[in-house]
Structures are given as structure tokens and as C-alpha cells.
Amino acid sequence: MTPGTARLCKYIFRVVSYFVAAWGALFIRRWLKRHRERVAQSWPLVDGFILGGKVERIRKTSYFRATLQYTYFVREYRTGEYTHEFTTEADADAFVRLMKDTRVHIRYKRSNPGKTVLEQSVVEQHVLLAPRTD
């Protein structure tokens, strides 16, 4: 094997490794999100309010992450976050704009009210029921 071929093989291996690691991280993050939602099904509900959000590119992928910040009251005001991945930055930005200032139901762990879950199904209801501006 020539030195040029060896460098090319190393480069290809590195690119493929980054690609596999990035997709693996996305898969694990999505699985954990679904798992947390299943565990939280028995937790009590409290009214919450979406304060706003931010959008950032997910490193080494073509995806964008929208992170919503919400507040709720259980013995004191608290905050939490909800994240969702999008294929385009425009979709992620539109999602954050649509959800801002929305009232939602939050599930919280009774023994640790700082641990919360904003369920994807709750978010989808608001997205589907929102008026279209096309």
C-alpha cells in the first residue's frame, strides 16, 4: 500500500466514523427521550408555559436542534427544557416561534419536582392545532 493510499484510507475511515458516531448519538438521544416519556406516564400533571427557545446545528450532522424553555409551578416556580430535532433550520425556527407563549401540560416527578417531561404528544397537539399562515 502506498503512503497516499494509506492516508486516503485513514481519511475515509475517520469520515465514516464521525458519521456513524453522529447518527448513533441521535438514535440514543431519541431512544432516551421516548424512554423518559414512558416512565413519566404515571407522574402528575401541572400547567406550564413556553417562555421561548433557541435553535442550533447538531455537530457533524445536517440536523438542527430546537430547545424550548418552559416554566411551571410546584411549590415554587421552576424551569425545564424540551428538545426536538429538525432537518432544516427554517423548520426548527418556525417550531420555536409557534410554541413560544403557549400553555402546555408538564409531567413532574412527585418526589423530585425539578424532574419534568414535556411529552411529544402534547407538543404535537399544539403544532397540529395552530393556524397555518401559508
Q: Kindly state whether residue 134 falls inside one of the protein's structural domains.
A: no
Task: Give pTM, 2 decimals.
Answer: 0.72
What is the per-residue pLDDT for 132? Answer: 53
Side by side, the strands of the sheet bearing 64-73 are 77-86, 64-73, 45-57, 103-109, 112-117
pLDDT along the chain (134 residues), means of 10: 75 74 71 76 94 92 92 96 92 94 95 93 76 52
Could you tell me if residue 92 is inside a domain? yes
- Domain enclosing residue 87, as ranges: 3-129
Tell me, what's the pLDDT at 26? Answer: 67
Q: Which residues contact 39 (CB under 8 A, 6 or more apart)?
A: none
- The H or E element containing residue 13 is helix 3-39
82 class by beta-carbon count within 10 Å (0-12 exposed, 13-18 middle, 19+ buried): buried
pLDDT given at position 120: 86
Count up the domains in the chain and report the number. Answer: 1
